[in-house]
A and B are shown apart, each in its own frame.
Chain A
């Protein structure tokens, strides 16, 4: 079993829809949770960075972490065609050296 599970998609939505992206994980030691956006043939771009449980909002993006359920989510409001990309969740323990553990990524397609 992988430490981090993420549905690879693709997830297809119309422009303006609310998008929900999710990851589950098995290692309760994870303390820091990230969402990265990756366009085709590019490096991952950090979107959201949260510590422990709770919500964090930044513009159209909201990240939620539920450590009791080992479940994290990224919500995108008013989705745009430019949001079409692969979204990677990542997490780390925050102790020792930094080793990000990634999900496989969910490919999102937003149609005009």
Chain B
């Protein structure tokens, strides 16, 4: 167990709706990164939050947004859901911006868009 927890574990949404996914980082970690893993693929980097600021972003549209709170937990919000957004969403917890440090993943939230 990594100590990184995500909620909910499963979610079904309708195309066009909005969704919020949550992540609690490992104790002592101040950095949370979000990844999208489509079926049969490796995780793809969405963005990273370090000390409540977005610290870097991958190739995802602006309808993917996030927050980090003072306790370093984080949210991923996706607006205007599309069918291709169906995937396992993973958060990873690390220390001090994460550069060159170990990243530990939660169990993921499986999002299905119908």
Q: Which residues of A does B touch, CB under 8 Å? A: 4, 6, 8, 31-32, 34, 36, 41-46, 49, 51, 88, 90, 92, 94-105
Contact = CB atoms under 8 A, between A and B. Distances in A.
Given A31-B100, A94-B100, A99-B56, A105 B48 contact: no
B70 to A, nearest CB: 20
Interface string B96-114: 0111111111111010000
27 contacts: A4-B42, A41-B110, A43-B6, A43-B105, A43-B106, A44-B43, A44-B90, A44-B105, A45-B2, A46-B102, A51-B100, A90-B42, A92-B100, A94-B99, A96-B99, A97-B55, A97-B98, A98-B31, A99-B33, A99-B56, A100-B33, A100-B35, A100-B92, A102-B42, A102-B44, A105-B41, A105-B42
A105 B23 CA distance: 24
A102 B37 CA distance: 10
A61 to B, nearest CB: 15
B43 to A, nearest CB: 5
A96 B56 contact: yes
B45 A99 contact: yes
B94 interface: yes
A36 B105 contact: yes
B81 to A, nearest CB: 21
B72 interface: no
Contacts of A100: 33, 35, 43, 45, 92, 103
Contacts of A90: 42
B54 to A, nearest CB: 9
B58 interface: yes
Contacts of B99: 92, 94-98
A97 B100 contact: no
B31 A88 contact: no
- Top 4 nearest A-B pairs (CB, nearest first) are A98-B98, A102-B42, A97-B56, A94-B100
B40 interface: yes
